[in-house]
Structure 1
Amino acid sequence: MAQTTQFRYSEVARVAPTPKRVRARVGGAFVADSKNAILVYNQHFPFAYAFPKEDTRADLFTFGPAGGDGDSEETRRGALKVDGRTIEGAATLHTAGRLEDHVVLDWNKMDDWYEEDEPVFVHPHDPGHRIDIRQSDRHVVIEIDGTTVADSRRPVLLFETGLPVRHYLPHTDVRLGLLRTSDKTTGCAYKGFASYHHVEVDGKRHEDIVWSYRSPFHEALKIQGLMAFFDERIDVIVDDEEQERPDTMWNE
């Protein structure tokens, strides 16, 4: 799901080189273009790229003093000036440490990102992260407060590194009359952009508990238009066995 990616030195858990060519664009200018970029990880996922200083448009960046607007004496926060725009805090130059002489760009302050010649969204792709999607004949029942909301014998199961198995169900196997449209949308770097629904049972609304990818990325086309529920907040019965609710960031 979409994450805030503004760079903070204290958040860096590890770094790793990538063999991919990585580019960042703002307006009509590529402000960084490198075959020697470094993935910058927090505790959960890579949230930024670090570029060798010489692979960035030095003429477009202005950096302040070390420790000035940043949070470390090893970093200098910088502004980007391009196409008549000034974007404060767009970059962080490292003067020492693991990322010495590298510039980390704030993901959300760039207009477009590319790995090789393909656009990338939300955050950098982690080479150790993957999704597997499999058609299944398991019998999946979704209940909320004792009411059956969905019942399917043709789920599509999505297995994603570090996350619970998600059961994606056809619309025709979901009680659509219990759903209420939500304005919420989120983005996933691997699946695409999701839209949400609430579920209303016995006058109680369960907020943003169902999601669907109308136009998923290529790797996730098998779940296009299907509906998934937050197992963390509902009762899921698979082949007559009630499943334990997973403990994740989406429990509440």
Structure 2
Amino acid sequence: MSTRMRDLLAEGLGELRHEPIGKHIRAVLDGRTVVDTTRAVLVWEPRRIVPSYAVPVSDMSAELSPTGTAATDAADGAGVHLLDLSARPVLDPSVPFTVHTAKGRVADVRTDGQQLLGAGFQPADPALDGFVVLDFRAFDAWYEEDERNVAHPRDPFHRIDVLASSRHVRVELDGEVLAESSRPTLLFETLLPTRYYLPPEDVRAKLTPSSTRTWCAYKGRASYWSATSGDHALPDIAWTYQQPLHEAEHIRGLVAFFNERLNLVVDGERASRPCTPWSSHPDT
């Protein structure tokens, strides 16, 4: 009997996973390159859905200072419920790097004039002997080859497809139409719901710019919009990529709404609201 690929991916969520990537990886701190390697691997701790870089300790111009042993299942109460993937909460990027679910040793990373507390983790696994997993956010900048990387390491098993469409899309809440378009651009992203990006002129709701900004490794920096619907305040209900990364160029300047919190009608059929890490807060 055929197996759904999503189920195969989900089967490994509870395991420590790694994948060599063959890219030239560099990390910069205070203007100095402290990681420079072509031997990096991606590491997913159990229940992590986004990978971290693991690099050979010998390819770092920094010292590791072990601080103790990380307890297995330290993150049992952390994470978000994505029942389509796992019965246990999964750890999305909002869960700090310092929360670990694999056996191993936590380490501080020391450079000239800096001590990055808990920024390293050495898994107790023979396949990763000699490697240290690093906290992406603890460093000023990361590069894959000569291109700046943002948000988190890029997952080779994760992709986006951006396609022009003529589907009729209506965004509603309590009977009020917030947007309606027959020329959406659809963004398909691995393990995430389809996003419908609409031309700004097809948005009926009055959108107010928000100060919220988030980063996506595949799309770039998102800026947010708030709106109102009847008596409902809708903070950060929509977003736009004004300067997207090259894979997402075709959504530049378009507006997408959180279909987790609104009603979406596509070609006359109301779509169910997906359950994602952004069902209650924005961070896409």
> TM-score of the superposition, structure 1-length normalised?
0.86
* 2:156 partner SS: coil
| Among candidates 242, 253, 256, match of residue 228 of structure 1 | 256
Aligned residues: 238
Partner of 2:40: 37
Q: How does 1:60-209 map to 2 (within 5 A)?
A: 60-64=62-66, 66-67=68-69, 70-71=70-71, 75-94=104-123, 96-177=125-206, 179-209=207-237
State the identity as a percent: 42
Any conservation in 2 of the 1:40–1:48 contact (CA below 8 Å)?
A: yes
Write the distance in 1 (CA, Å) between the matches of 2:26 and 2:110.
17
Query: Counterparts of 1:245 and 1:77 in 2: how far apart (Å)?
Result: 39
User: Is contact 1:113–1:119 with CA below 8 Å preserved after alignment?
Assistant: yes
Unpaired segments of 5 or more residues in structure 2? 1-13, 73-101
Q: Are the aligned partners of 1:112 and 1:119 in contact in 2 as well (CA < 8 Å)?
A: yes
How far apart, CA to CA, are the structure 1 residues paired with 2:114 and 2:256?
41
Alignment match, 1:6: none
- CA gap 1:102/1:143 in 2 versus in 1, 3 angstroms: same
Please give the alpha-carbon distance, in whole angstroms, between the structure 2 residues aligned to 1:76 and 1:132.
38
The 8 Å contact of residues 47 and 107 in structure 1, kept in 2 or not, is answered as no
Amino acid corresponding to residue 56 of structure 1 in structure 2:
M
User: What is the rounded CA distance, in whole Å, between the counterparts of 1:149 and 1:96 in structure 2?
Assistant: 51
- Structure 1 CA distance, aligned partners of 2:220 and 2:43? 21
Distance 1:151 1:18, change over 3 A: same
Which shifted more, 31-40 or 43-52? Answer: 43-52
Aligned partner of residue 260 in structure 2, secondary structure: helix
RMSD of equivalent CA atoms: 2.2
Retained in 1: the 8 A contact 2:64–2:120? no
- Gaps in structure 1 of 5+ consecutive residues: 1-10
TM-score normalized by structure 2? 0.77
Instruction: Give the superposition deviation at 1:71.
Output: 3.6
Q: 1:94 deviation in Å?
A: 4.5
1:55 corresponds in structure 2 to: 59
1:212 aligns with 2:240: yes
Give the AA of the match of 2:37. S
Counterpart CA distance in 2 for 1:36 and 1:62 is: 18
CA contact (8 A) 1:45 1:126 kept: no
Measure the CA separation in 2 of the matches of 1:81 and 1:53.
12
CA shift for structure 1 position 100: 1.6
Q: Which amino acid aligns with 2:33?
A: F
> How far apart, CA to CA, are the structure 2 residues paired with 1:74 and 1:139?
50
